[in-house]
Structure 1
Amino acid sequence: MNYELFSEKMKALSDPNRVKILDLLSCETLCACDLLEHFDFTQPTLSHHIKVLRDADLIVTEKIGTWHHYSVNRELSTEITEVLQSVFSSSERCICHTTINEKEDQYEKVSPL
């Protein structure tokens, strides 16, 4: 596991508004105007949150005409879920059961985070 990259993803999730954006996008692909209806902040603030989520690869942007549509990066969300489950449970892949070098090699193969 690359703890540095994983930490960057978690930092992007440290704001409740960004978590809410992901929650909304978990249901369907939305444009900024549809997302903005759920918040009491301005479009530039939404753009900032979208940028943070995009920079962390947590969301995917698709341009359709003049509109940008956003959706959850499903592949990365699955990887994050797997890493979190591994971190919070004791298994044969747990760092306490192997040497650090073995653990790094093992997670590099399993998770590109």
Structure 2
Amino acid sequence: MELNYDDNAKIFKALSDSSRLKIIDILSCGEKCACDILEFFDFTQPTLSHHMKVLSDCGLVEVRKEGLWNHYSLNINNCNKLTLFMMNLITETKDCICKDKSKCTCKSI
């Protein structure tokens, strides 16, 4: 498996905000309306919209519009890809990025 560092770095950047991590946790329970997500925070709807745009732009969250409200859910496929990327990144494998195993600093966990 080839690791795509650039794309995943964008996702990790999106997740480097504690509010966005909390939003991911909230959405792990299932689809939520923006109004329901707002109940967990002490910020405005435009701030929530910004966070949701960041999460949807990196592919972790999907948006469904219904009337005046947006409904958000996790893109499970992309979340699973991110999990696999992280597992491959921190686990020594036969496809280790190091070419000379005698000089490899990879550690098994």
Shared fold (TM-score greater than 0.5)?
A: yes
Alignment-derived partner of residue 81 in structure 1: 83
Larger radius of gyration: 2
How many residues are treated as equivalent by the alignment? 98
Higher helix share: 1
Alignment-derived partner of residue 33 in structure 1: 35
Counterpart CA distance in 2 for 1:3 and 1:82 is: 13
RMSD, matched Cα: 1.3
What amino acid is aligned across from residue 8 of structure 1 in structure 2? K
- The answer to which of 27-36 and 63-72 deviates more is 63-72
What amino acid is aligned across from residue 10 of structure 1 in structure 2? F
Query: Contact 1:86–1:93 at 8 Å: present in 2 too?
Result: no
Q: Pick 1 or 2: higher relative contact order, CA cutoff 8 A, min separation 6.
A: 1
Query: 1:10 offset after TM fit, Å?
Result: 0.6
Counterpart CA distance in 2 for 1:7 and 1:26 is: 22
Query: 1:97 offset after TM fit, Å?
Result: 5.1
**Which runs of no fewer than 5 residues in structure 2 stay unpaired?**
101-109
Q: State how 1:1-113 maps to structure 2 within 5 Å.
A: 1-96=3-98
Query: Contact 1:86–1:94 at 8 Å: present in 2 too?
Result: no
What amino acid is aligned across from residue 67 of structure 1 in structure 2? W
Query: 1:91 offset after TM fit, Å?
Result: 1.2
Runs of 4 or more, structure 1, over 4 Å off, are none
Counterpart CA distance in 2 for 1:40 and 1:84 is: 31
Sequence identity (%): 48
